[in-house]
């Protein structure tokens, strides 16, 4: 690659998104249509800054095994197939314990339903 072109590329790489957008507009005005995508900076409004960020992932935590611990142990082993019997029993005996982290709300609801139908209680955070 020509040294002159390398230098231009290095200059373009150092531009911010707004500067890059201005460059593209200037090139379009000077030479006509340019076959480059136009980058725009996100518009920050008061509405978007005031909304609390909603996490797309949640954590499911066993908070109570209930009266029927054996059923909760079975449910845990269905949810976590690699969990051994001893580990599942330890989770039930030493609540609160995290069952799964960073999962979708849908998956968390399925886990909650399974544990609660076995007699346990969970919290979704």
Structurally, what CATH architecture does the domain formed by 58-124 represent?
2-Layer Sandwich (3.30)
Burial (CB count <10 Å: 0-12, 13-18, 19+), residue 11: exposed
Residue for token pair 């920050």: 44
Q: How far is CA 63 from the centre of its chain?
A: 24
Where are the chain's structural domains?
3-49, 58-124
Q: What is the pLDDT of residue 48?
A: 47
pLDDT of residue 118: 92
Q: What is the pLDDT of residue 33?
A: 64
> What is residue 41's predicted lDDT score, i.e. its pLDDT?
52
4 CB-side CA count, 13 A: 0
If we measure between CA atoms, which residue out of 25, 21, 24 comes closest to residue 39?
Answer: 21
pLDDT of residue 71: 93
CA-to-CA distance for 85 and 55, rounded, in angstroms?
32
- Per-10-residue mean pLDDT, the chain, length 125: 86 81 82 58 52 70 91 91 89 90 91 92 91
Q: Give the per-residue pLDDT at 116.
A: 92
């Amino acid at each position: 690659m020509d040294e002159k072109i390398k230098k231009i590329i290095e200059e373009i790489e150092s531009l911010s998104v707004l500067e890059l957008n201005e460059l593209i507009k200037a090139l379009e005005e000077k030479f006509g249509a340019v076959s480059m995508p136009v980058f725009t900076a996100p518009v920050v409004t008061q509405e978007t800054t005031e909304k609390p960020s909603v996490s797309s992932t949640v954590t499911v935590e066993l908070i109570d095994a209930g009266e029927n611990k054996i059923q909760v142990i079975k449910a845990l082993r269905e949810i976590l197939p690699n969990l051994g019997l001893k580990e599942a029993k330890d989770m039930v005996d030493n609540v609160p314990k995290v069952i799964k982290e960073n999962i979708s709300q849908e998956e968390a609801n399925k886990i909650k339903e399974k544990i609660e139908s076995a007699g346990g209680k969970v919290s979704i955070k």
